[in-house]
Amino acid sequence: MAITSDLDNIVKWFETEVCPGIVLKVPNDTINDGGYEVVTSTPAAFAMYVPTQDRKPPDVAAPIPSLCVQLLKGKHSPAQHTGQMTIQLALAAWNPGEHGGEKAIPEEDPQAIGGVKYHREPSETFKRSLEGWRDVWNFTDKVLQAIENTEYIAGLRLVKENNIEYGPFTEDGALVSYYPYWFCWVQFTLEHGLARKIPAEYEKYL
């Protein structure tokens, strides 16, 4: 068992089994009002830490929306030849409010087909609100459903008897707003077998 390879495999499992079924808004910290042209993406999956915008992989649309697989602690039981890993998923979404999209404005143009061309302007239906929290909780629901419906994640047994916990991110026990970013966590336990190389001095007796 290698900790790093297990984490990489868990990331790939969520990247394959969960993320493709979720579509969320991609952040624009410069324009997040009615002028924002809505861009969506499936969440990226990372191990341990979420990279900053300037350090994200080239094939990733943005660091958020994302799912980050974090190892909180591990435990080995040599007598039972098993080990357990407490995994936390950090889920992140961005949504400043309701975007109504764009509207097409006609204008005369003798050179255009039919003498009319259209230019696009931001829709005035944008409504800034704190309702973006619904995105990250819908994200959480999808993740919980995927975990609950499986027995193994990346070849590691889901320890269902330890339960699956989840919640919003808090500071000093209080629920806080990171508007327009929204965060949740999901925590569960995975079990694996221990395979250790037999010391050379004992191999001759086997």
Dist. CA 193–CA 103, nearest whole Å: 58
Categorise residue 163: left if φ over 0, alpha if ψ from -120 to 50, beta otherwise.
left
Categorise residue 115: left if φ over 0, alpha if ψ from -120 to 50, beta otherwise.
left
- Choose among 38, 9, 7, 11: nearest CA to 25: 38
Dist. CA 172–CA 184, nearest whole Å: 16
Cβ atoms of 9 and 45 within 8 Å: the answer is no
> Is residue 196's pLDDT more than 80?
no
Categorise residue 108: left if φ over 0, alpha if ψ from -120 to 50, beta otherwise.
beta
Between these two residues, 149 and 111, which has the higher pLDDT value? 149
Cβ atoms of 1 and 157 within 8 Å: the answer is no
H-state helical runs in the chain: 3-17, 133-148, 200-203
93: exposed, middle or buried (Cβ count in 10 Å: 0-12, 13-18, 19+):
buried
pTM of the model: 0.81
Give me the chain's average pLDDT, please. Answer: 87
Handedness of CA 163, 81, 13, 51 (dihedral sign): positive
170: enclosing H helix or E strand: strand 170-171
> Is residue 54's pLDDT more than 60?
yes
- Interval 83-104 mean pLDDT: 86
| Per-residue confidence (pLDDT) for residue 205, from 0 to 100 | 46
> Is residue 113's pLDDT more than 70?
no
